[in-house]
């Protein structure tokens, strides 16, 4: 079955630390990949997306993600986090079957 795996569900780090969240998707041919973020009390919003082209994707708020086809991965990174990055982060993959498969999410807490 098509699925998305996210590890380290809870991440706690200090401001200015670097963040990397892992995302692995199951094989399914051509796939569109997304990272969504849900800030406390707010709705899910798109952080970045990958459809094709340059495998290093830049998103909003200094986030980036790298698509590595050989590893079926789409890891999210930010070199220096801020307190305002405290949120839940979801990786998602679209395999062309009307369904967006989501991972379980990473709860990230940034300590000032």
Partner 1 sequence: ETGVTQTPRHLVMGMTNKKSLKCEQHLGHNAMYWYKQSAKKPLELMFVYSLEERVENNSVPSRFSPECPNSSHLFLHLHTLQPEDSALYLCASSQGLAGREQFFGPGTRLTVL
Tell me which residues touch partner 1 (CB under 8 A).
Answer: 4, 9, 32, 34, 36, 42-46, 49, 51, 90, 92, 94, 96, 98-105
H/E segment holding residue 6: strand 4-6
Q: Contact, 21 vs 106, CB < 8 A? A: yes
Minimum CB distance to partner 1 smaller for 17 or for 105: 105
Minimum CB distance to partner 1 smaller for 24 or for 81: 24
Write down how long the chain is: 112
CB of 15 to partner 1, least distance (A): 27
Minimum CB distance to partner 1 smaller for 36 or for 74: 36
CB of 42 to partner 1, least distance (A): 7
Quote the CA–CA distance of 25 and 67 in Å, as a whole number: 11
Quote the CA–CA distance of 9 and 45 in Å, as a whole number: 19
Q: Give the three-state DSSP class for 83.
A: helix
Pairing of strands 10-14, 23-25: unpaired
CB of 14 to partner 1, least distance (A): 26
Minimum CB distance to partner 1 smaller for 81 or for 101: 101
CB of 22 to partner 1, least distance (A): 15
């Amino acid at each position: 079955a098509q699925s998305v795996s996210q590890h380290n569900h809870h991440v706690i780090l200090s401001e200015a630390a670097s963040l990397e969240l892992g995302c692995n998707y199951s094989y399914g041919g051509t796939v569109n990949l997304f990272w969504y973020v849900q800030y406390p009390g707010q709705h899910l919003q798109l952080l970045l997306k990958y459809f094709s082209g340059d495998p290093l994707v830049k998103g909003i708020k200094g986030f980036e993600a790298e698509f590595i086809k050989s590893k079926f991965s789409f890891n999210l990174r930010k070199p220096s986090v801020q307190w305002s990055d405290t949120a839940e982060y979801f990786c998602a993959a679209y395999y062309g079957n009307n369904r967006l498969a989501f991972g379980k999410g990473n709860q990230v807490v940034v300590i000032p």
